Amino acid sequence: MKIGIFVLRAVIGLLFLGHGLQKLTERFGGHGLTQTAAGFEAMGLRPGRQNAMAAGVSEAAGGALLAAGLATPLATGLITGTMGSAVYHVHGPKGPWATQGGWEYNAVILAAAFAIADTGPGGLSLDHALGIERSGWRVALAQLVAGLVGSAVVAARATAPAPVPTAVPAADGADT
């Protein structure tokens, strides 16, 4: 049995699980949800807490599923979505090279997620053991589109201006 796809899934999956937990908790050297939310707000991703939670859950869940080889198209779609968001909000304007803060790393992860969805999770996976393995170029393309569309929807909501508070009438009925 070939184990290459298992190693690829395990490495990417476990690292994404940890990366998501860094956002959600203070584990693995992470800043936790409050500080991550503040960082997201500073980047213009509002509301910061909801966006930080969405990113952390997508990374952690996608990573856990990928490492286990369970619901692999969903797992790769979640990872694709977070990488799409990272490129759009952080790395895109900096060019391709990671040395300049660019999207090089994100592109490698996107390509790996596409390849895993295309080839399938392999024999050492829960998808295979449960008989629910789905793969092929159509599955790979579907997870790519779903991940990027999901990322675009979140981006559209995240970059919307903060809502303007409405005036609350004074208790005595006088206008303020």
In the predicted model, is pLDDT for residue 172 greater than 60? no
Per-residue pLDDT, 157? 74
Cα–Cα distance, 93 to 86 (Å, whole number): 11
Do 64 and 24 meet the contact criterion of CB atoms below 8 Å apart? no
Cα–Cα distance, 124 to 122 (Å, whole number): 6
Cα–Cα distance, 123 to 133 (Å, whole number): 9
- Secondary structure, 3-state, 147-167: HHHHHHHHHHHHCCCCCCCCC
* CA distance readout (Å), 113 to 38, 51, 98: 29, 22, 19
Do 153 and 81 meet the contact criterion of CB atoms below 8 Å apart? no
Cα–Cα distance, 156 to 75 (Å, whole number): 23
Per-residue pLDDT, 158? 66
**Can you read off the two tokens belonging to residue 79?**
């990872």
In the predicted model, is pLDDT for residue 164 greater than 80? no
Stretch 116-139: mean pLDDT, rounded? 96
Do 28 and 22 meet the contact criterion of CB atoms below 8 Å apart? yes
**Can you read off the two tokens belonging to residue 45?**
């991703």
**Can you read off the two tokens belonging to residue 151?**
């990322």
93-120 per-position pLDDT tens digit: 899 999 999 999 999 999 999 999 999 9
pTM of the model: 0.85
